[in-house]
Structure 1
Amino acid sequence: MNAGPSSHADVYLAEAEDLLADMEAGLLDLEGNPRDADQINRVFRALHTIKGSGAVFGFTQVADFTHHVESAFQRARDGEIPVSPGLLEVTLAALDHIRDLLDGKEDRAREKSLLARLATHVPQGGAASSRPDKKAKPPRPEPESPRHWRIRLKLGPQVMAFGTNCLRLLDELRALGDAVIIALPEGIPPLEHMDPVACYMEWDIILTTEQPRSAIEDVFMFVAEDATIGIEPIAYEKDDSKRLGEILVERGDIDLDNLMGALRQQRPVGELLVQAGQVSPEKIVSALVEQSKAREEPKTPMGVDAGHGSLRVQAERLDSLMDQVGELVIAQARLRQLVADSEDLNLRAVAEEIERLSSDLRETTMGIRMVPIGTLFGRFRRVVRDVSRSLGKTVELTMDGEDSELDKTVIERLNDPLVHLVRNCIDHGLETTEERVREGKPEAGRVHLSAAHSGAQVLISITDDGRGMNRSAIRAKAEERGLLAPDAQIPDGDLLAFVFHPGFSTAREVSAVSGRGVGMDVVKRTIDALRGTIEIGSTPGEGTTITLKLPLTLAIIDGLLVRVGKGLYVLPLSTVEECVELSDDARKDQRGCDFLNIRGALVPFLRLRERFKVSTPPDPFQKVVVVSSGTSRVGLVVDQVVGQHQTVIKSLGKLMADVREFSGATILGDGTVALIMDVPRLIEMGQTGADDRRLQSGVDDRHLIAGETR
């Protein structure tokens, strides 16, 4: 596949991905209402733009294949063929093939098969047939208030003999608005064969008017039966930056093969087509007029969404901007530390002003990186459709909270975990249609995706109305694998969380979708890496809800700065519940991990001095920072709680990949480095230490480990 300059190709690929997502949404909407003209036009416009821009930017194979699918929807748009389930099915498959072509994956056999399937749903010549005569078409759905019209007028040879004044017709069009009229003399015969009273001329008219289509048709009221008249609105939407070649192909003045041949010569398209005798100079002029009208529109270029005032920016630039803002936050913290003891009031005022501007810039930059979670939710309509069909189940997908925003990095990394969770909901959670009918439930199962803000976090929930999780099967599997003692008491949330262990599956048989025990552990690892938590709630016979709690951003967080020995560490503030003083009894007991009684609840605590092998003497009054992850919590014993700190997260690098206690690092105002603690990992250590302590003491207090009495 040949492509143009990399920058242009990148713009096209980004735009094509958006168009394919929009097209997929339109196809899925058409499954519920195949007569929806707006959705048919939506799919057609996406195909038309992908094809036209693909030809211009050198993606010839994409353009050639998309042309066949576009032709099929052209006929559906004109009412010649129905939008059948079979047509939608093959178009969705064609959409996937277009994605593969854009990714550079060519499969000629698959393409040939798709075109053959497409032809079975497009009778009378198939998808690649030429467009039928315009007079035989039913009227197309029009835009609500088009401003520009393309009119091609060819009067019958005898109209002047019947008293029609051609110039008066054109003057009436001029009276409706701004009309650019181009005469097309191609049909005029040599002088010796000319009938002096016959009309041989054709005209192209580009009319700009606020009048409706009916006013234009009234101009031709008395000649309509003796003329060929084409009146089409010129719609400038996402595909409004049409090239000259696209306009000529759309008008039917040339075919795509001639256009591609001209493009390969890297010379002006109009000049080449005229030299080759494939189109007249007048038609080139007419197309250029139409193109200029498009440029007069208050339109938006590729990558700009006029409806939302948004601009497409490369992700690398946003990442670079965020890095620079992070460095500014670090420099500002250093400046604040330097002027803290200064008596120069002017210097302190300037430092405070820089701190305010730095804070505003940080918030603005973080806001730029925020993306509506609806961009992620929309992809799951196709997932639910395909998985439910492969399993023979009827499933309805509902969503709310799509406007909730999340950092783009989090959005990108959430796709795979959510796919696993949704597939498992459909496969394991929802009953078959027969089972649901027997239990008095609606035949169609329901999967609900929701998102909502909660402080500095976003809560994403996946809910089904299926059979619920089988606790006895989960417990039996956990005992079989040695993860749980037969007589152990365990909180319900922790029991259900066993499904996230690697290789853990209670499925009796493996399906094409799930059942091998892989996937859910990937979900857990990914959410942990995002500094998020997972909570599961399930009611037998009613369904299951899985809630993901995720931070709004991964770039800059609010942290709690603590000291252990001489080292400084940061705890994400969203995980911190409270800080209490270590009791005298606990301070004297140096056995590694013990329990702290906090308002009647026993919480295991971990001595970080021992974990980090600190040799300096402990502070006389140590503190315990209680942190939580999901339903579990643990206390971390530190020497000092320094205070809240704006934390710019830096990765640790490959050399420290095996250090699991820390998820990153940050630079403090004085230039020293503070490590950011991985709270889920520390909680796991605290629970393991509590298990060891229980075995040593012979006391069965396992049910206290995860904070059941909290």
Structure 2
Amino acid sequence: MIDTFRETFREEALEILAELENSLLQLDEQPEDAEVIDRVFRALHTIKGAGAMAGFDDVADFTHDIESVYDLVRSGQIPATSDLISLTLAARDQIKTMVISSFGGEAAEPVETARIMEAFRALLPRVAAPTLEKAALPPSAGARGPEVTYRIRFRPSRELFHRGINPLGLLRELDRRGHCRIVAQTDVIPPLEELDPELCYTYWDVILTTTEDIEDIRDVFIFVESESELTIDVIDDGGLLDQDGDYKRLGEILVERGDLPAEDLQRILDEKERLGDILLERRLVDGFKIESALIEQEEIKGLRLGRQNLESVASVRVRSEKLDNLVNLIGELVTVQARLTQTAAGSRNAELEAIAEEVERLTWDLRDQVLNIRMLPIGSTFSKFKRLVRDLSSELGKNVSLVTEGAETELDKTVIERLHDPLVHLIRNCVDHGIEKPQERAAKGKASQGKVYLSASHSGATVILEVRDNGAGLNRGAIRARAVKRGLLPPEGEISDRELFKLIFLPGFSTAEKISTVSGRGVGLDVVRRVIEEMRGTVEVSSPDGEGTVFTIKLPLTLAIIDGLLVKIGAESYVFPLSAVEECIELKGEDAARSHGRNLVNLRGEIIPYIRLRDQFSVHGVPPEIEQIVVVQLASQRVGFVVDQVVGEHQTVIKSLGRMYQGVSGLSGATILGNGSVALILDLRQLLQMQEEAEDLFSEGLQQSLRQMTRS
């Protein structure tokens, strides 16, 4: 159980450290913001207290002086300078290393730990000794707002001691946060012969008056709340509500706490006798519960009265593996539902068809709900890049800030996890290649501070991410020169900007004149393209003259289940991602003959090339007289794919291909149809790329043949 508790601390601490980093970067931009300073202090305080309780004494000791310094920042005695924030960010990284090292990670460097601790301690002697004592006090030591009185009932798990937790430490922490009255409730302690000394039978009622909010109080129990019964009610709001009238009577308090049924209270009140005496005489309520209620009356009487109903959002921590398993089960359910629908349609049984329709509706609703559980706001990833930009701009001698938009945009957690590295490469590229040094920007009449913009937005079933900067933009001459040097372009050839900018995504392509710790090896943007395409997304780049560079990424909302268009070629079934499909048109034999073998079709005045998938997949047999062209949008071009038959829309659960087939080009996965057969999911971009490469080879071979014929 102790190991489980330490694992819980690790997970919680890593989340708090991520929030701490985000708050520090926000403080760097708004050094006078009291609320942000408060968040930094609270994060440090929570890590210190929880670390001590979980047995991470090194974390608690290391964090103590940092917390003391930020208490001085809160009181205005020390400014939140950029140097202090840089030091705190380094401390935050060191705390993370300490936590991870306890679970097999690399150990924290003692020299670095000592350096950081000495740097923080050097800030403390600047104030008088009494202030130093205050710096070690909890958040309630400083005035932060009106006092609020809370009623707290803490009933810990019976197995609390098995996890190495002493509940008295939690009660002492409450006592340090304000004026506190504690009553131990012992009514469930069994007789001595039945008592197990390793179990916790006692629970506590607490009346706490403090300047802290309810989340601060809940933080005290952050590592035991999930296994305990914890109730926190505001019973006085410091005078914000109407103060007329007396406070609740003894019976009302007991009923409100759940210690006395309302029916028993009414029956006793009808007898016109003293409530407390009757309750004790008839043993309806334990004496300690009455004492606790009387203390509450005593504490609140004379203050502004009222009861503020607080609705707290309950949350449950679930491991990601369990969510992944749930999504897999939903995928299997979708497949079985498709089989049921197909069977019902062929049975001509009205009752079975009605049941199949109801199961289909419930399955789709369940699928949407489960996928929504996996959705996370992308802002959790955005916040990590502020630190990256801050460190990079300092290393490169530039003044760069990161501006984010659409942090609330939600994406599947798997997509967010895989998106981190591509975004890191793009942002590094913008800071290093795009943004000029301050003196260069001043010479161009630009503000000395460059900006990198990171935004996200929904567009139907896709998410559009944009990374752009207001720097110099892409150097067309340098890209062309490097392409010519590598034999990718002829010296005098004409090429559009779109085709030219595509070259920067090739492996090993870089215009940097020298290799640095940031760039120059040409291993960044090709990784970006490969990872994005593996997620069935696209990445494009544009660069208006002198206005910076824009990288646009389009991704599906989820990688688990997609809406597809089911088609047939011969006896085999294939699936197009429906998000890419624009329309389907007929292709008759005479239409194909009029194009003279050039695989072009005139669609309402627009000439669209098409690819025959029969030829691409070497499908034998005679095609039907009227084939179908599935027109799709790939990046900025429209392409058609010729199939034998379009079956219709299909809810597609993506299954990965086996190891033997993972290297097959043009396929991104497979799905199981309602009849139990397998349909392959097409990778449209790879199919188009394969066709373009084949045409290039054919063109080169034709030119070589012509040259040989000319020589002879």
- Would you say the 8 A contact 1:604–1:687 is kept in 2? no
1:114 matched to which residue of 2?
116
Structure 2 equivalent of residue 637 of structure 1: 642
Match for residue 517 of structure 1 among 504, 518, 522: 522
Residues 1:662 and 2:642 aligned together: no
The offset of 1:110, in angstroms, is 2.0
Map Cα deviations across residues 243-262 of structure 1 (whole Å, 9 max, x no partner): 89xxxxxxxxxxxxxxxxxx
Whether the 8 Å contact between 2:400 and 2:449 is mirrored in structure 1 is yes
The CA deviation at 1:530 is 0.7
Q: Which amino acid aligns with 1:46?
A: A
Moved more, 533-542 or 469-478: 469-478
Conserved? CA contact 2:412–2:557, under 8 Å: yes
Give the partner amino acid of 1:614.
Answer: V
Q: Secondary structure at the match of 2:664?
A: coil
**Which runs of structure 2 are paired with 1:574-593 in the superposition (5 Å)?**
574-584=579-589, 587=592
Shift of 1:588: 6.0
TM-score (norm: length of structure 1): 0.73
CA distance 1:600–1:515, shift in 2 (3 Å):
farther
- The residue aligned with 1:39 is 36
* Aligned equivalents of 1:500, 1:133: Cα separation in 2: 53
Structure 1 unmatched ranges of 5 or more: 151-176, 183-204, 214-231, 245-284, 294-304, 700-710
Paired with 1:492 and 1:180, the residues of 2 have a C-alpha distance of 73
Match for residue 557 of structure 1 among 562, 567, 580: 562
C-alpha distance in structure 1 between counterparts of 2:669 and 2:215, whole Å: 51
Deviation track 1:653-680 (CA, whole Å, cap 9, x = no partner) reads 3232211221111100011111111122
Secondary structure of residue in 2 paired with 1:505: coil
SS in 2 for 1:55: helix
Cα distance 1:89–1:641, how it changes in 2: closer, same or farther (>3 A)?
same
Q: Aligned partner of 2:431: which letter? A: I
**Matches of 2:223 and 2:7 in 1, distance apart?**
18
What residue number does 1:197 align with? none
Q: Counterpart of 1:703?
A: none
Q: 1:145–1:580: structure 2 CA closer, same or farther, 3 Å change rule?
A: farther
Would you say 1:359 and 2:360 are equivalent positions? no
Counterpart selection for 2:334 from 313, 329, 332 = 329
Residues 525-575 of structure 1: CA distance to partner in whole angstroms, max 9, x if unpaired? 110011000121211111111110000110110111111221111111112
Kindly report which structure 2 residues correspond to 1:475-494, keeping only aligned pairs within 5 A, or say none.
Answer: 475-494=480-499
Q: For the Cα contact (< 8 Å) 1:665–1:676, is it kept in 2?
A: yes
Residues 343-382 of structure 1 aligned to structure 2 (within 5 Å): 343-382=348-387
TM-score by length of 2: 0.73
Give 1:502 deviation, angstroms: 0.5
Q: State the match for 2:156 in structure 1.
A: none
Asked whether the equivalents of residues 395 and 446 of structure 1 are also in contact (C-alpha less than 8 Å), the reply is: yes
Q: Is 1:451 aligned to 2:451, yes or no?
A: no
Q: Does the CA contact (< 8 Å) of 1:493 and 1:631 recur in 2?
A: no
Give the secondary-structure state (helix, strand or coil) at the position aligned to 2:618. Answer: coil
Deviation at 1:584, TM superposition (A): 3.0
2:67 aligns with one of 44, 65, 70 = 70
Alpha-carbon spacing, 1:598–1:461, altered in 2? closer, same or farther (3 Å): same
Task: Give the structure 1 partner of residue 467 of structure 2.
Answer: 462
Instruction: Tell me which moved more, 436-445 or 27-36.
Output: 27-36
Taking only the aligned residue pairs, the percentage that are identical comes to: 46
For residues 65 and 516 of structure 1, what CA distance do their matches in structure 2 show?
39
Q: Is 1:316 matched up with 2:296?
A: no
Matches within 5 A, 1:296-307: none
* Per-residue Cα deviation, 1:205-263 (whole angstroms, up to 9, x for no partner): 97546xx98xxxxxxxxxxxxxxxxxx9997355230789xxxxxxxxxxxxxxxxxxx
- Within 5 Å, which residues of 2 pair with 1:74-113? 74-104=71-101, 105-106=106-107, 107-113=109-115
Distance 1:308 1:606, change over 3 A: farther
Residues 592 and 689 of structure 1 are in contact (CA less than 8 Å); yes or no, is this contact kept in structure 2? Answer: no
585 and 131 in structure 1: CA distance in 2 versus 1, 3 angstrom threshold: farther
Contact map agreement 2:68 2:135 (CA 8 A) in 1: no
Deviations 1:165-200 (Å, cap 9, x if unpaired)?
xxxxxxxxxxxx997389xxxxxxxxxxxxxxxxxx
Contact 1:479 1:486 in 2 (8 A): yes
Contact 1:78 1:139 in 2 (8 A): no
Distance 1:121 1:86, change over 3 A: farther
Query: What secondary structure sits across from 1:688 in the alignment?
Result: helix
Candidates 211, 221, 234, aligned match of 1:241: 221
When the two chains are superposed, the root-mean-square deviation of aligned CA atoms in Å is: 3.5
Of the three residues 6, 15, 22, the one matched with 2:19 is: 22
Q: Which amino acid aligns with 1:501?
A: L
Deviation of the 1:307 alpha carbon: 6.7
Q: 1:125 to 1:438 in 2, by over 3 A?
A: closer
CA distance in 1, matches of 2:495, 2:606: 16
Residue of structure 2 equivalent to 1:193: none
